[in-house]
Amino acid sequence: EAAVTQSPRSKVAVTGGKVTLSCHQTNNHDYMYWYRQDTGHGLRLIHYSYVADSTEKGDIPDGYKASRPSQENFSLILELASLSQTAVYFCASSDQGAPNERLFFGHGTKLSVL
């Protein structure tokens, strides 16, 4: 069974601070994704990557950076955290691109920005 591990499970950050969310997968998948989930908006794609050392913008990339230092690891960086970035963040991986491949999601990171 595919495994996607996120850390931390929850985090409280201050407005204007830097936040790094980490994701590690043991599936040997090429594709990795960061989504956020909010009440009223559902899951929205922030950034994704299909190869190490390269990232692509998703639907809502503003205020976020991503880093893919290796096939297994994918980080989401909030340089200046804002109240509007309070949400649950999910990392996912897939063997090929999203349309025809199921995504394997981690358990999520609950981020509260105060």
Which stretches of the chain bind other proteins, using CB under 8 A? 4, 31, 33, 40-45, 48, 50, 56, 58-59, 90, 92, 97-100, 102-108
The strand pair at 73-78 and 87-94 is best described as: unpaired
Q: Which is nearer to other proteins, 58 or 67 (CB)?
A: 58
CB of 26 to other proteins, least distance (A): 15
Per the CB < 8 A criterion, the answer to whether 71 and 52 are in contact is yes
Cα–Cα distance, 100 to 87 (Å, whole number): 27
Q: Which is nearer to other proteins, 8 or 97 (CB)?
A: 97
CB of 105 to other proteins, least distance (A): 3
Secondary structure class of 38 (helix, strand, coil): strand
Q: Which is nearer to other proteins, 45 or 77 (CB)?
A: 45
CB of 33 to other proteins, least distance (A): 8
C-alpha separations of 21 from 12, 96, 100 in Å:
12, 23, 27
